[in-house]
Amino acid sequence: MGHNHDHGHSHSHNANKKTLTISLIIITAYMAIEVIGGLLTNSLALLADAGHMLSDAVSLFIALMAFKFSSKVADYGKTYGYKRFEILAAVINGATLILISGYIIYEAIERFQNPPEIQSSGMLIVAFVGLLVNVLVAWIMIRGADVKENLNMRGAYLHVISDMLGSVGAIIAALLIMFFGWGWADPLASIIVSILVLRSGYYVTKSSVHILMEGTPENVEVEKVTEKILKTDGVIGMHDLHIWTITSGLNALTCHLVVDGKKTIGESETLLRKVEHTLEHLNIHHVTIQLETPEHKHDNSMLCTVKADPSGHDHHHH
């Protein structure tokens, strides 16, 4: 059962890697053009868009590194392999975005007070090419990668999509400057783009921190899980339930199940298989269950109560 899951996983893995590499090369090259264009035409909107492109490039690079690392095999030092790396990387990515957007907003506020001269025709050309580049990359990603399930791929894809809005903003600003001479359109566009960058930075950081804090996965309903487990034939009760995310798309569960003490090991095994099968349909892929008889002393709380004793050793009180 678990076997074919891994097989499909490695196939999408390679497709993701290839798509990411192509997208990364295109975006990085264009980002350099946009920075130079922004400096030459004196347009902050182009620089903001380049900042956005940088955030794309960083998120693509992180996703790529994550695929490289997470396929490194688990060893004694890291029993889950390096799968957490991509979550850690996503936190760093989110923080970077927040800093970049903060800087651009600060710069834009200064420009509202004294708008500089802007070469709008050059700005228009660069912004338009930027839009085409984004459309191309988004198309490559939809065709070649798993943008639905994988948190990293989805992050990278959403970046590229919101980057399109950045280019559109710069195009509109350039047109307003050309036709109406509205110099403030440039800092305004750059602030709008920065708010988009800030927003995506915030969400990426929030969901990654939730995973690092061992929060319950967003695609798992705890009530449903407990109900289904307790409904299984032969289960008398359950406690010490933990559900968490190892890395995007890989959720784990541990719990203690109370079962009839007269069961043979074979029967218990069948029961466990049943529970595992049920959980697989509820987005839980990695299950560890401890079986106990009703004689085993424990408290009846669903979740674990760990009290630290004064000597500094943790004891489970059940």
Q: How does pLDDT run across 26-74, given as a tens digit for each residue?
A: 999 999 999 999 999 989 899 888 888 887 887 788 778 777 766 666 6
pLDDT-based confidence at 149, cuts 50/70/90? low
Give me the count of residues in the chain: 318
pLDDT-based confidence at 315, cuts 50/70/90? very low
What is d(CA 229, CA 57) in angstroms, rounded to the nearest whole number?
Answer: 43
Mean pLDDT of the chain: 82
Residue 208 has pLDDT above 90, yes or no: no
**Mean of the pLDDT values across residues 133-149?**
82
Among 59-73, 184-198, 219-233, the minimum mean pLDDT is found in 59-73
**Mean of the pLDDT values across residues 184-189?**
92
pLDDT of residue 80: 59
Residue 170 has pLDDT above 60, yes or no: yes
pTM: 0.67
Residue 200 has pLDDT above 50, yes or no: yes
List of residues 6+ apart from 173 with CB closer than 8 A: 43, 45, 123, 127, 185, 186, 188, 189
DSSP assignment of 233-287 equals TTEEEEEEEEEEEEETTEEEEEEEEEE-TT--HHHHHHHHHHHHHHHHTTT--EE
**How many CA atoms within 13 Å lie on the side-chain side of 47?**
19
- Yes or no: say if 27 and 49 are a contact pair by the CB < 8 Å rule: no
pLDDT of residue 1: 41
Residue 84 has pLDDT above 70, yes or no: yes
Report percent pLDDT > 90 for the chain: 31
pLDDT of residue 312: 46
Among 41-45, 151-155, 208-212, 302-306, the minimum mean pLDDT is found in 302-306
Residue 7 has pLDDT above 70, yes or no: no
pLDDT-based confidence at 299, cuts 50/70/90? low
What is d(CA 304, CA 316) in angstroms, rounded to the nearest whole number?
Answer: 8
DSSP H or E run through 316: strand 314-316
Q: Pick the residue with more confidence: 186 or 148? A: 186
**Mean of the pLDDT values across residues 224-236?**
90
pLDDT of residue 145: 64
Residue 91 has pLDDT above 70, yes or no: yes
SS3 121: helix
CA 18 to the chain's CA centroid: 19
pLDDT of residue 109: 92
pLDDT of residue 196: 79
Q: Pick the residue with more confidence: 5 or 297? A: 297
Q: Which of 151, 131, 128, 129 is nearest to 139 (CA)?
A: 131
